[in-house]
Amino acid sequence: MRTNRTIAAVAVMGAALFVAAPAASANSFGDRYLGAGAHLSYNDGTDTLCLWYDSSGPYQASLTASPTTSGRGPTRSLVVGPGQKKCASLATAYEDTHYDYLGAVASDCRCYIHRYSGGFYS
């Protein structure tokens, strides 16, 4: 009888460990506010990088995303005006490639009002 209780206790503890294990981490992120009205998102399921600009005026938001290690994926550049959203595919990048991005909100004269940079995994 004691053996049955021991087996049952071990089974319960094993199941608890399985349930408590963290889910595989996806590399997606939703609305990453870059400042001055610019926003960035990445959907790991569709391998889609999106930039949008929710301010008005004579400015535009731009961003260039490149793999940290050359050859691990494509470099993508996006430019959006007020109220616009554009997306680009990173489907040809190797899984879990680290990307660096650099961009700015600026007017046509290249007068920067805000610069941003960062990184993410595709």
Q: What is the pLDDT of residue 24?
A: 37
Query: Which CATH number covers residue 40?
Result: 2.60.40.10
Q: What predicted TM-score, i.e. pTM, was given to this entire model?
A: 0.77
Whole domain around residue 51: which residue ranges?
24-121
How far apart are the C-alpha atoms of 36 and 61, rounded to whole Å?
A: 9
Order of strands, edge to edge, in the sheet holding 98-107? 76-80, 59-67, 98-107, 112-121
Is residue 5 domain-resident?
A: no
pLDDT digits (tens, 9 = 90+) for 100-119: 999 999 987 778 899 999 99
Q: Tell me 3's DSSP state.
A: H
Total structural domains in the chain? 1
Report in angstroms the alpha-carbon separations of 39 from 11, 21, 58, 89, 102: 47, 32, 17, 17, 13
Asked if residue 17 belongs to a domain, the reply is no
- For 23, phi and psi rounded to 5 degrees? -70, 155
